[in-house]
Structure 1
Amino acid sequence: MELVWRSLTTADIPAVAALYNAVEAADDTGELLSEEDFVELFGEADLPRGSVAALVGDELAAYGMVVPRDKPVGAHRVRLDGFVHPSFRRRGVGLQLLPRMVELARDLHADKHPDLPLVVSTMVESRCAGHVALVERCGFRAERHFHELEVALGESLARVPMPAGYEVVPFSAARDAEVRVVSNTAFARHWGSVERSPEEWAASFTNSKRFVPESSFLALHNGVVVGFVLARHYPVVEEMTGVRELWIGDVGTLEEHRGRGVASGLLSWTLAWARAQGYARAGLSVDTANPSGALGVYERAGFGVARTWADYGMPVEL
């Protein structure tokens, strides 16, 4: 089997989306993306320098994308997102793809943050034995685990009131900059978290077509934002599974307001709203070692573990 390697282009979007969803169907990752989602992702990426495609004839056998960070602290942790089509597995394609992505990460790092150490990382679903074996063979080691949680938005949904002295208001564009600052502060001490620039924040939320501001809420104390729940909706999930899901992208509370029930009350409000809007399920991801007690908050809200992911990392010599 002869592979032809090149960078991705926007013309590859249909093939990339098809490959990605073929991987999801084979591995049951629960991660579904549409062509429109990839249009957005490609628009944010440095395709000539931060992507790679492997072709067999005219067929896309594998692809990878490299995602650097704007404002890393301590070390520059570059994410590698790579996939091999199920039809081309067990042929050594992944063993060629992953090192190529590492080299792309090294080159991007040298331009962006040459004075920092470089760590490359990739997410692996725990049941994907082949993927686990591949990354470990290439020198990656599991550094953190994340549960993907789900809750059905039915009649038995728990209701938790907001504590006294706090109010819930809908997210508004007027508070966007304030929420970004609060988010950066709330997550400043979390593992792997770095300050999100206005550009990164806009790509994740404000300018993203998947962000749902009408289903995102803020907790105010004396008129100031101290907590937030920011939601997304991926229509492709409903199209392919028949389940309308609200994805909780970020939940955060400033440290001095934790332990008072702010996150529980805000999350309860959001889930009740989502149910009234016709959502059948809510999902989110949580660091299993999160020091803020977030996992307990979600479990008490009725969330249960659907899948577990591992963040595999590897230091790279410069």
Structure 2
Amino acid sequence: MELEWRPLTTADIPAVAALYNAAETVDDTGELLSEADFAQSFGKTDLPGGSLAVRAGGTLAAYGLVALRDNPVGTHRVRLDGMVHPEFRRAGIGLQLLPRLVSLARELHVARHPDMPLAVCTMIESRSEGHVALAEKLGFTADRHFHELEVALGEALAQAPIPSGYEIVPFSAARDDEVRNVTNMAFAQHWGSVDRSPQEWAASFTDNPRFVPESSFLALADGAVVGFVLARHYPVVEEMTGVRELWIGDVGTLEEHRGRGVASALLSWTLAQGRAKGYHRAGLSVDTANATGALGVYERAGFELARTWIDYGKPVGL
């Protein structure tokens, strides 16, 4: 099979989204993405230097994207995303695509962070046996496991009280930079986390059409933000499944306020308000090795395991 390799362009967005969702019907990872979601990803990517389109007989057979971090610390951990269309699998395309993405990541890294170590990583749903086998064959190892949890927003939601000395208020754009700084402090010790710059924060939240500020809440103590739940809504999930899902993107509490029930109260409040706004389900992802006890907080709120993702990584010599 003769393959054509070239960088992606924004004109490829419809074909990439169609390929991805064709693969999702086979892989059933639960990760649903629309053309608008890919447009957002493309906007964060150096398309000429950090992407690949693989065409076979005029058809998009596979694609790949390299996602750099704004403010890497210690090791620059670059994410590689990609997919081979189900009709073109088991033809060796993945064995060519992933090493090429590693090479692109190395070139971009050397141009931007030449004095910093490089590692590449890719997220794989644990039941995707072919993807797991490919990563391991190419020297990637499982660095971390993340549980994806879900809870139905019915009448039986657990109700956690707001602890004395705290109040819960809706997210406000006026507190945007304060919330950014608090999230950076709250996640400072989390594996793989780096400080979000104002630009990265805006792309993830303030200017992100998926962010739902009206369903995001803050915990205050003495008028200052000490905790947060920041939520997103992906219309494509509802379009494809009929389920209106509130995705809990970030939950955190400043270290000195942990162990007092702040996160439980925030989460309980967010789920109750989500139900009132017509959401059917809430979902989130949690590092199974999280040292803050987050998994227990989520389980007590009624969340149950839906699937597991594995962060596969590989150090790359320069």
TM-score by length of 1: 0.99
Structure 2: distance between partners of 1:206 and 1:138:
38
Name the residue aligned to 2:172: 172
Q: Which amino acid aligns with 1:265?
A: A
Q: Please, which moves more after superposition, 242-251 or 34-43?
A: 34-43
Instruction: Provide the C-alpha distance between the structure 2 equivalents of 1:259 and 1:164, rounded to a whole number of angstroms.
Output: 13
Q: Count residues in correspondence.
A: 318
1:28 corresponds in structure 2 to 28
Pair 1:99-2:99 in alignment: yes
Partner of 2:77: 77
SS at 1:210's partner residue?
A: coil
Cα separation, 1, equivalents of 2:4 and 2:88: 14
User: Contact 2:44/2:67 (CA < 8 Å) preserved in 1?
Assistant: no
Q: CA deviation at 1:90?
A: 0.5
Equivalent residues in 2 for 1:231-270, closer than 5 Å: 231-270=231-270
> Equivalent residue for 1:112?
112
Give the deviation of 1:176 after TM superposition. 0.6
Assess if the C-alpha contact under 8 Å between 2:263 and 2:297 holds in 1: yes
Instruction: Report the Cα distance in structure 2 between the residues aligned to 1:45 and 1:144, rounded to whole angstroms.
Output: 24
Whole-Å separation in 2 of the counterparts to 1:300 and 1:102: 40
- Distance of 2:35 and 2:70 partners within structure 1: 26
Deviation >4 Å, runs of 4+: none
Q: Which amino acid aligns with 1:163?
A: P
Residue 154 of structure 1 corresponds to which residue in structure 2? 154
Q: Is the 8 A contact 2:227 2:254 kept in 1?
A: yes
Identify the residue that residue 138 of structure 2 maps to in structure 1: 138
Unaligned runs of 5+ in 2: none
SS for the counterpart of 1:297 is helix
Amino acid at match of 1:7: P
Post-superposition offset of 1:44 = 1.8
SS of alignment partner, residue 116 of structure 2: coil
> TM-score normalised to the size of structure 2?
0.99
Q: Report the identity percentage.
A: 76
Give the match for residue 57 of structure 1. 57
Q: CA deviation at 1:270?
A: 0.2
Paired amino acid for 2:291:
P
Offset of 1:57 from its aligned partner? 2.0
- Supply the AA of the counterpart residue of 2:298: Y
Q: Given residue 112 of structure 2, which amino acid in structure 1 is its aligned partner? A: K
Say which SS state the counterpart of residue 121 (structure 1) adopts. strand
Distance 2:291 2:20 in 1: 33
State how far apart, in whole Å, the 1-side matches of 2:14 and 2:151 are.
32
1:183 aligns with 2:183: yes
Q: Which runs of 5+ in 1 are unaligned?
A: none
Q: Does 1:300 align with 2:297?
A: no
Matched with 2:3 is: 3
How far has the Cα of 1:285 moved from its partner?
0.2
Alpha-carbon distance in 2 for matches of 1:224, 1:117: 37
Q: Secondary structure at the match of 1:311?
A: strand
**Which residue identity does 1:16 align to in structure 2?**
V
